Every structure is written in structure tokens, then in C-alpha cells.
Amino acid sequence: MTRLSRPIDAQDQEAEWLEPDSSGGFASGTVGTMRTRRYHALLLTATQPPAGRVVLVNGIEAWLDMNGARFPLSMQRYAPDVIYPDTSANLLSFDTDPWPTWRYQINDNTVVIAETFVAKETRETVLRWRIENASNSLAKLEVRPLLSGRDYHALHHENPAFSFDATLEGERVQWQPYGDLPTICATSNGAYAHAPDWYRNFCYVRERERGLDFIEDLAAPGVFTFDLSHDEAVLILHAHSGREKPFEENAKEHATHLASRETERRAALGSRLARSADAYVVTRNVGKTIIAGFPWFTDWGRDTFISMRGLLLASGRHQEAESILLEWADTISEGMVPNRFPDSGGLPEYNSVDASLWFVVAVHDYLATGHAHAATTSRLQRAADAILDGYSRGTRFNIAADTDGLLRAGVPGVQLTWMDAKAGDWVVTPRIGKPVEIQALWINALSIASAWNPRWQALRDQARESFMARFVDPDTHTLFDVVDADHAPGKIDHAIRPNQIFAVGGLPFQLVDGEIARAVVEQVQMQLLTPLGLRTLAPSDPAYKAHYAGGLLERDGAYHEGTVWPWLIGPFVEAWVRVHGAAGARERFLTPLYAHLDRYGLDHISEVADADAPYTPGGTPFQAWSLAELMRIEKLLGGS
């Protein structure tokens, strides 16, 4: 896992860590401890797993008093840009193995070690501090929790409705800032002194960069004091809904017990990538689901089925893959699986043409493992047939098999493909008509289902023949991005995008080979490949955007107009291997992604990156399908 033992520079301090629980909640922050996002928190819980997320404990103020001298162990930024206190001079190292761990140099002889981890199954956040080489000095640690009680997308401000009331019972302190939220429980081996106060004008620079509100006020109900010269300090945070049974051990014993269980659990997961992959697998209803990315995504259909192939199937987690597929199979409506479930509840959103087809691909890959029982196999095959039935007859948003056997889709004002950016009423890349990767998925789905249902064979053969006749550019032997664009017969979108790569790699069945496959791979490699993935548009295109930055409108406008997506390295490398062979592929294409694990979102791979050098990462720091495709390709190349 990530180990920063060199001098930690400003870029290192901005890197982010993630500690998820089993239900969609998480703790997260930065190496430097300064919160830079509204999503950075120590206790962020999902009240309707994996949705209904609320922030309860945003962070802490921590100070060490040693023989009358005070040393900060946490760092804050206040508006407009005041950093106080500043721990950067004292931070010796940071490590994520087995969980986030900081080492602070206090003086020539004294080092303080601070740890934070989330016990995944119990959803408790454990904070521990211990001192090395104290030389019998007096060392007092003061920790002040900073609370809110808000939706994780929102911000908190000083208000008279906030309740500072505290309930003390033994080692436990409880607060309930707002009556409709869970109670915050803090259990420690220190002494608590109630001292209500407001800390105002915290400044979150990542939100400011995204053009969003970025100032917040937090409530500080009191201070925990620990004698660090005689024992380690322990503070355990938990969201209490009234159903949980309080643990019977004292705080230190319970923290030790949780640490032991977490160490065993993480070690059992195996490799670094497998441990990171576990972050995204959480509870939904009675089964499991896959979070699309942290900190702001929940579970999306498209992302779930793409990610499953690497996160679960490539690492042998077959039972969880089966659970997820069966859970989603029950959601099929008119041949479609949902693209997402609203965070606030309500009806699922069926607004994707490709999510359902990726479901069929995931079913194929799962059944190919040989781990499905007969009843599960039958149920998943029926679900795949239901999707193909709905698509061949016609379903929402003008999705239907056309007379040429290809799949048409799209209506004005709706974004249906994975290139789904929309700002207000502006659909940035509508791609209405017959997009190339949708045909690759459609023909793959028909091929998959033909193995158990021969009635799909004729439609598959027709679609494949039409694909070869209509998508191959006679001049370059590459593939068009969309044909019958805007449902206008014969209208072609010639934009050079990465979507054509799915006709060669990324799916079980390769649609083109020989000269055409080589031409596709060469064009994508020459014009779209970067160290962190594929650009979404060639730099020669007038619509090309080199940077993913600015406010919502600017970011959405660049999302698929040049911006690099790391997950696309998976289909590209598979296509490259199918054309050129596997020799040298790992070193050539995967090495930059492994280096990326040590920056931005530590041990994970970001959602996107700038299209031009130095390919600055952006979007979510922790993206499921980005990591998943690295894992899938590692498996393909014979790695761990």
C-alpha cells in the first residue's frame, strides 16, 4: 500500500485516503489532515444503505502539550486562505498499510503516531495515538471533535437549532445535533469536558475549484484529554440509531479487538488491488452492490456491471457477483435495468441504453466461471432474454432493433450512452442514432444469449453483417462513432473517439479483426492514448478540451470532449493484445497506472484526468471501474 517516507511535499499532502464501511459510509481525508472537500469526514454514514449519506463528525482538532510546549497534530484551512495550525513541518511519514497512519516528529527524541481506520462490518471509526521515546516527559493530548449533521452533498452553518447537549455514561459521550439524524457516540479512554463552541469559515479548496459553495461552520461540543505519556489514546466514533448494542469492553480493549479483526480481514483479501477493490462492495437491501466511486457516487447500473468483471470476477469473489446480478435481475423493466437509484429514494431511473447490455456481458463472464448453480443460471439467462426481448421489440427512449438488425437509441434532451454529460438542458454528446460501442455490446449480448437460446442467432448474424457494412470507414479502415446520427439515415458522425475500441477489445466477442482491427488500435493509440487512459476525443477535433476544470458547466463540457478516462485502458490493452500479442503490454501500458496509485486517491485510480500533459487527475479520486479494469487486464495478462 502507499508509503510516503520521503519528505512530504505539498502535492503529497493533498493526496486523499479512503476508509469505507460495509454500507456506503466512509471516512476520508488528506495526507496533511486538512479537509479540502465537503466529503472529507471521520464519521459519514449511510442511513439507507448505500444512500441516505449524512456527515456527523467532519474532523478533529488535535494538539499535543509536552512540558508546556504545544504541537499540532491536525491542520485546518479557514477562509479566505488561512492555514492554522500547520503540521507540515513535523509530518515525517504517512502510510496506508494497513490503514492511514501518520508519524509526527515532536522533538529530537519524540515521535507521535496517529492512526485512523474504519471497522468495515461494525461501521465504527477508530482513532488512536501513541508516543515513541517520550523520555518520561509529560505529554497531554487534547482532541476536539468537529460536528455537523448534514447531507453529504450539503454544507453546514452556525444555527440555533443545533443541539450541543451531551449525555455521558462511563467512557461514552453521546450527542444528537438534530433529532432526525442518528446519535453520535464517542467512546474513549480519556476525560471529556463539555465546552460548546462554533468553529467558523472552514474553506474547502476542491469545492472552490469545482465552482461550488466551499465555506462551512462546524460545532465543537467539547474536548477529550488523554495522558499520552502513560498510555495510547483511543477515540471510537459510531452512528447510533438505537438498535445497536453497546460494546462491553472498554475503549482501548475494543479498539484493539477491532484492529485485530480488521488486520486479519484485510490480509485475507490479498493483494493491494484486491484490498482497494473491497472498498466498493457494500450492502443494498439483503444483497450486495458496487459503489461507482467515492466520495459522491452511489451504485449505478452501468458502472456496477463494468466494475464487477474486475473487482469481483477477476479476484474470485463469485458469490458476491452472483448476489449482485440476482439483485439487479429483479429490477428489469421493459427490457431495461436501472441506470441509477436516486440518493433520496424514489423510483429507479431507466435512462441508459448500455447498462442492460453490460448486465448481459457480466452474466456471461460470471457463468463462464462455472460457479453458478442450475437455478441461478436459469434465472440469469431468463433476465438476459428479457433484456433482448425488450430491446428487439422496442422500449423507452426509442431504443429498438432497427430493420438492419442494429440497435438504434436516443431522443432529444436525454443522454443514454456512457458519454452522458448533461448540464441543465444541454446534452453535451447526445450520440443519438447507432453509436459504435452500443452495436458492439448489442452483438455481444445476442452472441451470448444465442448459446442457450438459438432464436437470437439470426438477429445476431444480421446485426454483425450490417455492422461490417455500415461502420467501416473505407478510407481509413477504422470505425465511425455513430451512424444514422440523429436518426437520419446515412448521416455519419466521424469524430475520433475511443468507443470504436470495443469492437476489438473489452468484450467477450471481437467484432473486427485483421486489417480493420489493426487500424482501429493504431488510430486509438496514436490519437487517444495517454499514460492514464484514453482521451474521449482526438486533439485535432475543434471541440477538443484539454483540461477538465472549472465550474459545473465547464467540467461537463469537457467530460467527454477530450478528458481522459482511465477505465478505457482495459478495452484498449485487450484490443492491443488481440492484435499484437501480450509481450511487453504490462510494462508498456500498466506501469503509469501503478504509479498513479501513490497519488490523488491513494491505492485507487481516479475517475478522469486532463487530456494534455501532465494529465492531472480529476473527478472522483476513487473510481470503481478505473481500478476494476486494471484488475481485469492484470488477470488477462496472467498477473495477480
Q: What is the DSSP string of 270-322?
A: -SHHHHHHGGGEEEETTEEEE--EETT---BHHHHHHHHHHHTGGGT-HHHHH
pLDDT at residue number 34: 97
Residue pair 469/462 in contact (Cβ under 8 Å)? The answer is no
Give 345 or 415, the one with higher predicted confidence. Answer: 415
Whole-number average pLDDT of the chain: 95
Longest dimension (CA), the chain: 84
Domains (range + CATH), the chain: 3-251 (2.70.98), 528-640 (no CATH)
Strand runs labelled E in 414-551: 422-423, 426-427, 434-435, 482-483, 492-493, 529-530, 533-535
pLDDT at 303 exceeding the cut of 70: yes
20 cis-preceded (ω within 30 degrees of 0): no
3-class state of residue 111 by DSSP: strand
- Beta pairing partners, 498: none
Grade residue 8 by pLDDT with cuts at 50, 70 and 90. confident
How far, in Å, CA of 456 to CA of 445, rounded?
9
Average pLDDT of the segment spanning 53-81: 96
- C-alpha 485 chain-centroid distance: 32
pLDDT at residue number 249: 81
Which three cell numbers mark 178? 438534530
Q: What angle do CA 33, 35, 40 make, to 5 degrees?
A: 105
Residue that the C-alpha cell 496533511 belongs to: 32
pLDDT at residue number 198: 98
Query: 222-226, 342-346, 532-536: which range is least confident on average?
Result: 342-346
Grade residue 18 by pLDDT with cuts at 50, 70 and 90. very high
Share of the chain above pLDDT 90, in %: 91
10 Å CB burial of residue 51 (0-12, 13-18, 19+) is: middle
Query: 112-121, 210-219, 345-354, 511-520: which range is least confident on average?
Result: 345-354
pLDDT at residue number 50: 93
Residue that the C-alpha cell 460536528 belongs to: 147
177 cis-preceded (ω within 30 degrees of 0): no
How far, in Å, CA of 320 to CA of 426, rounded?
38
pLDDT at residue number 408: 98
Residue that the C-alpha cell 519524540 belongs to: 110
Beta pairing class for 166-169 and 172-175: antiparallel
Average pLDDT of the segment spanning 197-216: 97
Average pLDDT of the segment spanning 411-437: 95
pTM of the model: 0.96
Condensed to tens digits (0 to 9), the pLDDT of residues 591-610 reads: 999 999 999 999 999 999 99
Grade residue 536 by pLDDT with cuts at 50, 70 and 90. very high
pLDDT at residue number 285: 74
pLDDT at 134 exceeding the cut of 70: no
Which three cell numbers mark 85? 495550525
pLDDT at residue number 435: 98
pLDDT at residue number 578: 98
pLDDT at 246 exceeding the cut of 80: no
Those residues whose C-beta lies under 8 Å from the C-beta of residue 104, and which sit 6 or more positions away, are 71, 73, 87, 90, 91, 92, 111, 112, 113, 114
Alpha helices in 354-406 (DSSP H): 355-367, 374-393
pLDDT at 244 exceeding the cut of 80: no
* Run of H or E residues at 400: strand 400-401
The conformation of residue 566, written as its DSSP 8-state character, comes to: G
pLDDT at residue number 31: 97
pLDDT at residue number 628: 98
Those residues whose C-beta lies under 8 Å from the C-beta of residue 442, and which sit 6 or more positions away, are 357, 391, 406, 407, 463
Condensed to tens digits (0 to 9), the pLDDT of residues 445-493 reads: 999 999 999 999 999 999 999 999 999 999 999 999 999 999 999 999 9
Q: How many CB atoms lie within 10 A of CB 627?
A: 28
DSSP string of 165-207? Answer: -EEEETTEEEE-SSTTSPEEEEEESSEEEEEEEEEEEEE-HHH
Average pLDDT of the segment spanning 211-218: 97
pLDDT at 138 exceeding the cut of 80: yes
- Identify the CA nearest to 282 among candidates 270, 272, 297: 297
